[in-house]
Amino acid sequence: MATADDVRRLALSLPGAMEKLAWGMPTFRLESGGKIFASLDDDDRAMGVKCPKEDRDELIASEPEKFFMRAGHDDNYAWLRVRLGALEDDEELYAILLDSWRQAVPRRLLDAHPDLAGPRTP
């Protein structure tokens, strides 16, 4: 089971990542430009990550115990919630955080870390 400390450790291991409190919750964002790529919910049991709107329904349908949207909050944004207790291990948590980071990172930072490049949402 993943914890808030695991999210913090793995999110901050990504290049250019920093933590900043916003809306009373920890957010993980890029130092340059401040784009948020992850946040912890106020109860530390779930996190929000970037996710293309067109992919959310499929993820939720395939693993509803793991993925969800906060009604009225995530509807209009390219975000998805992840229940930390439903994650299998650090590897899965890192993969989710890395995917979200890739969607927020500027091209020059991604180019500086080709080992982290992968499928990127335009």
3-class secondary-structure state, position 97: helix
Q: What is the pLDDT along the chain (122 residues), one digit of tens a residue?
A: 899 999 999 999 999 999 999 988 999 999 988 899 999 998 999 999 999 999 999 999 999 999 999 888 788 899 999 999 999 999 999 999 999 999 999 989 988 998 998 754 43
Query: What pTM, to 2 d.p., does this model score?
Result: 0.92
64: tokens are: 């509803």
Report helix, strand or coil for 29: strand
Q: Which two tokens stand for residue 31?
A: 């130092």
CB 52 within 8 A of CB 78: yes
Q: How far apart are CA 115 and CA 5, in angstroms?
A: 25
**CA 26/CA 28 separation, integer angstroms:** 7
Q: H-type helices in 15-89, by residue range?
A: 53-62
